[in-house]
Amino acid sequence: MKTLKFLFDRNQGWADAIKKDNPHFFSQLSAQQTPDYLWIGCSDSRVPANQIVDLPPGEVFVHRNIANVVVHTDLNCLSVVQFAVEVLKVKHIIICGHYGCGGIKASLDQKAHGLIDNWLRHIQDVSRFHQKELSLLNDEDRINRLCELNVIEQVKNVGNSSVVQNAWKRDAELSLHGWIYSIENGMLKDLDMCIETAEALDKKCRL
Ligand SMILES: [Zn+2]
């Protein structure tokens, strides 16, 4: 008897439905993956990468962590970025945050949360960079603006990584994007962080 049998039943139904539509789907997919997109998003269960942009398996390479943070010492995230850029040769890296992010809220609430507080320090750094703007907002607006600012800062972080900088040096076609998702209405918003060159990144970082 399998544990969590109902999930295996759901898996069977899902695979059957896809094969009914395209009998060769899984055999073709098993031969190779050629995704154009690397998605770096929040671990929140309500923000599933493929479903939000309505893309099937094989189209999006995904890394998720609490509050979609790119840290220059995080070997897990950087390895994903390296593999995506240098081996899979993705053309786009999307950093996608979401409004009402629990990680962002926790970073602002001055309470102790255990081990995760070390991770949330990275978001508190973002708050510090933008303290003046954030201090003018009410609590709800401050959380949501920090969700946006965190995406913007993480786009800069991934752009300044050696992997992305080296890709641009060899003229690889690689764009960065900063998006934010609303759990309340299912819609994505573009935060105008589409960056295609090291020079464009420098310009954004100086603004
Ligand atoms: Zn989140």
Cβ neighbours of 184 (radius 10 Å): 9
Could you tell me the residue ranges of all domains in the chain? 33-206
* Mean pLDDT to the nearest integer, 12-16: 97
pLDDT tens for 62-99 read: 999 999 999 999 999 999 999 999 999 999 999 999 99
Distance from the alpha carbon of residue 170 to the mean position of ligand 1, in angstroms: 34
Contact of 123 with 107, CB cutoff 8 Å: yes
HSE value, Cβ hemisphere, 13 Å, CA-based, for 55: 15
Distance from the alpha carbon of residue 172 to the mean position of ligand 1, in angstroms: 31
Classify domain 33-206 by CATH number.
Answer: 3.40.1050.10
Distance from the alpha carbon of residue 166 to the mean position of ligand 1, in angstroms: 30
**Is 36 an annotated catalytic residue?**
no
Distance from the alpha carbon of residue 21 to the mean position of ligand 1, in angstroms: 34
**Is 130 an annotated catalytic residue?**
no
Cross-sheet strand order for the sheet of 175-181? 60-65, 37-42, 92-98, 175-181, 188-190
Please state, for a pLDDT cut of 70, what percent of the chain lies above it: 100
Residue 54 has pLDDT above 90, yes or no: yes
Report the C-alpha gap between 185 and 94 in whole angstroms.
20
pLDDT tens for 115-138 read: 999 999 999 999 999 999 999 999
pLDDT tens for 186-203 read: 999 999 999 999 999 999
DSSP of 60-123, one letter per residue? Answer: EEEEEETT----TT-HHHHHHHHIIIIIS--SEEEEEEETT-HHHHHHHS----TTHHHHHHHH
**Is 64 an annotated catalytic residue?**
no
Please state, for a pLDDT cut of 90, what percent of the chain lies above it: 95
**Is 205 an annotated catalytic residue?**
no
Contact of 29 with 35, CB cutoff 8 Å: no
- What integer pLDDT is reported at residue 207 of this predicted model? 75
pLDDT band at 155 (very low <50, low <70, confident <90, very high): very high
